[in-house]
Amino acid sequence: MLVNIRNLDLADRPAWERLWHGYVKFYRRRVDADVTDFTFARLWDPGSQPFGIVAADEAGRLLGIAHYLFRPTTWSRLDLCYLEDLFVDPGARGSGVGRSLINEVYSRADKRGVSGVYWLTQEFNADGRALYDTLARRTSFIRYQR
Amino acid sequence: MLVNIRNLDLADRPAWERLWHGYVKFYRRRVDADVTDFTFARLWDPGSQPFGIVAADEAGRLLGIAHYLFRPTTWSRLDLCYLEDLFVDPGARGSGVGRSLINEVYSRADKRGVSGVYWLTQEFNADGRALYDTLARRTSFIRYQR
Amino acid sequence: MLVNIRNLDLADRPAWERLWHGYVKFYRRRVDADVTDFTFARLWDPGSQPFGIVAADEAGRLLGIAHYLFRPTTWSRLDLCYLEDLFVDPGARGSGVGRSLINEVYSRADKRGVSGVYWLTQEFNADGRALYDTLARRTSFIRYQR
Amino acid sequence: MLVNIRNLDLADRPAWERLWHGYVKFYRRRVDADVTDFTFARLWDPGSQPFGIVAADEAGRLLGIAHYLFRPTTWSRLDLCYLEDLFVDPGARGSGVGRSLINEVYSRADKRGVSGVYWLTQEFNADGRALYDTLARRTSFIRYQR
């Protein structure tokens, strides 16, 4: 399958929202409509973080989304790139969409100059980790949260 | 022990550096001198992220340091607070220094308004996690990195 | 879907047994018929622990079961509530049945007054943990058994 | 070292309390004095759960404590034995005190007739687990808690 990766566009709103809701549901969470509005506005605006990219098939149908940002770190003069969200339409899995999205984030991070690219995933996310293990190192770090 | 928590100050540089090097060594890493300079400058400057706070005893001796920042998230209109570094002088452990530093970060995050406070730690960091388990939720999230 | 949560009833035996066997099979275990008899009798009897509750749809069909008990703890004057078993019909997953059952256990535990509610799950139980991560804290505790 | 294992006795209160406080501090927790009173009273009373046993050296000095209880389970007609607390004086570790306490719990559980003996420990408790791995099976179960 030919996958086209590009910036999230204002016209993507309905298709993005369908994937975003799938992503939120994957985590058994809920996000209020005003947060979805606010988040889409920031993702779409190239002047504010986080940034949004999408994967589309040849017909222009959205297959996946990724949201990322850059943040300072005490460990380097260069920022770190954090991939906050990644979601691929369940019907399009296994065809390289997730990999293409991550590679695009890598490429943008490299262009900017960073000291690393990272993301978090639930340790029991077997499908995701099967892909991530081919693209990145699983570290020993776990997340604590209040 | 009475522990005083306050902003990192320019005059703290030598004492901060001793703790910073202890922290870097804890992770068996190295940080170039220019990065340490750059990082200290940002930590000390209240106008740039990350922010630095310190714990001092009654004689003013530095016992611990914490570095944190705020970043946007797609899940909320409010930022998340990320505690990037926490280090307590080995000779001052078990006396509430780490707890006091985390509680100060909580308090500053609450004052600003955030959707959460989080940090990462190696899963085998027994001393750290024994404390964190009393202050926060250990989540199911692990970190991947390129 | 409208889910009705209520006490396990004597008349639930056939439907409960179907779910109970599904649960036992989930863990690749076997339970002798006399244990099933004994367990059902205790679950159904409001005067003996453990207690059983069920989730039913509008037509009265059983969709899920939960078994819980209260036990003393050295850490508090109040008991702890232990959710021993939770099972949702595979065909009814993702519709809030498990969440409703856990919330009912929370509510009963609160009514009684407890110092906590807890349960155990296999670390690789992705479906279960995806739900539990939204309802409770994953702790650092693992189980040893002779 | 010769270790004597016996029931907790009313006269053990001061020595038990010292170990109990060490145990609570190990978990970086606090327990109110009235809870300690209440817990000791139940541990010492052979008619109420949980039960308390102690390990003493030849001079009668307390080296370790263990608290356990029996609870029903849906998986068997027989109860399970839960070892809730185990603590050995840091100065007496590595000399078989913990092992003797666990073996005594095993022996009492066997005398009563149980379907199993189990306990929970933090996954990063290296010292404890080095012992437990020789006495029991580490299972795949982790604890969730509200």
pLDDT digits (tens, 9 = 90+) for C95-116: 999 999 999 999 999 999 999 9
Give the one of B124, B125, B134 whose C-beta lies nearest to D28's C-beta: B134
Confidence of residue A1 (pLDDT cuts 50, 70, 90): confident
Q: Is the pLDDT of residue A77 over 80?
A: yes
pLDDT at D1: 73
Mark yes or no for CB contact A50/B67 under 8 Å: no
pLDDT at D11: 97
Mark yes or no for CB contact D77/C146 under 8 Å: no
> Using one digit for the tens of pLDDT, what is the confidence trace for B19-44?
999 999 999 999 999 999 999 999 99
Q: What ipTM did this prediction achieve? A: 0.96
> Using one digit for the tens of pLDDT, what is the confidence trace for D69-104?
999 999 999 999 999 999 999 999 999 999 999 999
- CB hemisphere CA count around B73 (13 angstroms): 17
Q: Is C105 on the interface with D (CB under 8 A)?
A: no
Query: CB–CB of A52/A65 below 8 Å?
Result: yes
Give the one of A27, A29, A124 whose C-beta lies nearest to C126's C-beta: A124
> Would you give the DSSP letter of residue B47?
T
Element of type H or E holding A68: strand A62-71
Across chain D, mean pLDDT equals 97
Q: Which of residues 117-146 of B touch D (CB under 8 A)?
A: 123-126, 129-131, 133-134
Residues paired with D120 in a beta bridge: C143
The rounded distance, in Å, linking the Cα atoms of C70 and C117 is 9
pLDDT at A2: 87
Give the one of C123, C124, C131 whose C-beta lies nearest to A28's C-beta: C131
pLDDT at D13: 98
How many C-beta atoms lie closer than 10 Å to residue D97's C-beta?
25
The rounded distance, in Å, linking the Cα atoms of D146 and B116 is 18
The rounded distance, in Å, linking the Cα atoms of C28 and C138 is 24
Q: What is the distance of C-alpha B34 from the center of its chain?
A: 20
Q: Is the pLDDT of residue C1 over 90?
A: no
pLDDT at D76: 98
Query: CB–CB of C39/D72 below 8 Å?
Result: no
Mark yes or no for CB contact A27/C123 under 8 Å: no
> Using one digit for the tens of pLDDT, what is the confidence trace for B39-96?
999 999 999 999 999 999 999 999 999 999 999 999 999 999 999 999 999 999 989 9
Across chain B, mean pLDDT equals 97
pLDDT at A100: 98
Contacts of C124 (CB under 8 A, 6+ apart): A124, D140
Q: Is the pLDDT of residue D2 over 90?
A: no
Confidence of residue C2 (pLDDT cuts 50, 70, 90): confident
Determine the distance in angstroms separating the CA of D90 from the nearest CA of chain B, rounded to an integer. 15
With contact defined as 3+ CB pairs under 8 Å, the chains touching A are B, C
Residues of C in contact with B139 (CB under 8 A): 133, 138
Give the one of C67, C136, C145 whose C-beta lies nearest to D136's C-beta: C145
Rounded average pLDDT over A76-100:
97
pLDDT at C104: 98
Rounded average pLDDT over D114-121:
98
DSSP A94-128: TSSHHHHHHHHHHHHHHHH-EEEEEEEEETT-HHH
Rounded average pLDDT over A12-24:
98
The rounded distance, in Å, linking the Cα atoms of A76 and B24 is 12
Across chain A, mean pLDDT equals 97
Confidence of residue D146 (pLDDT cuts 50, 70, 90): very high
